[in-house]
Structure 1
């Protein structure tokens, strides 16, 4: 299991949604396929929407550019 996977699991366990947004963005930025990047960005976007986080617009823009919104 990678360090990122461990940090994602810990953030889920702690229900730290702010950290989850950042970690899913990190996962998307390091993903090896567009499908994986879209998966991670979608998760980051959902958490950003739930928290009304300022990153939601940038996440939507990225997803839209990928044809996923």
Structure 2
């Protein structure tokens, strides 16, 4: 996940919020356990909400599926 971490840091440095939504969702998919995945999904969801990103509904559903919303 080192390459993904580097891409996340780069997106933060550039304030690329749409990229952060995508990258945090990708990090969730790559996470070894549900707690880590939901940590990343929460970040993706927050950035998505801030910009009314098209992934808001899907991210919310994923978090809800795991009892996190």
Instruction: Tell me the TM-score range normalised by the shorter chain.
Output: over 0.9
Gaps of 5+ in 1: none
Between the aligned partners of 2:17 and 2:23, the Cα distance in structure 1 is 10
Q: What residue in structure 2 maps to residue 68 of structure 1?
A: 68
Q: What residue in structure 1 maps to residue 44 of structure 2?
A: 44
Q: What residue in structure 2 maps to residue 57 of structure 1?
A: 57
Give the TM-score normalised by structure 2. 0.98
Give the TM-score normalised by structure 1. 0.98
Equivalent residues, number? 69
RMSD value, Cα: 0.9
CA deviations over 1:32-59 (Å, ceiling 9, x no partner): 0101000000000000000001100000
Runs of 4+ in 1 over 4 A off after TM superposition: none
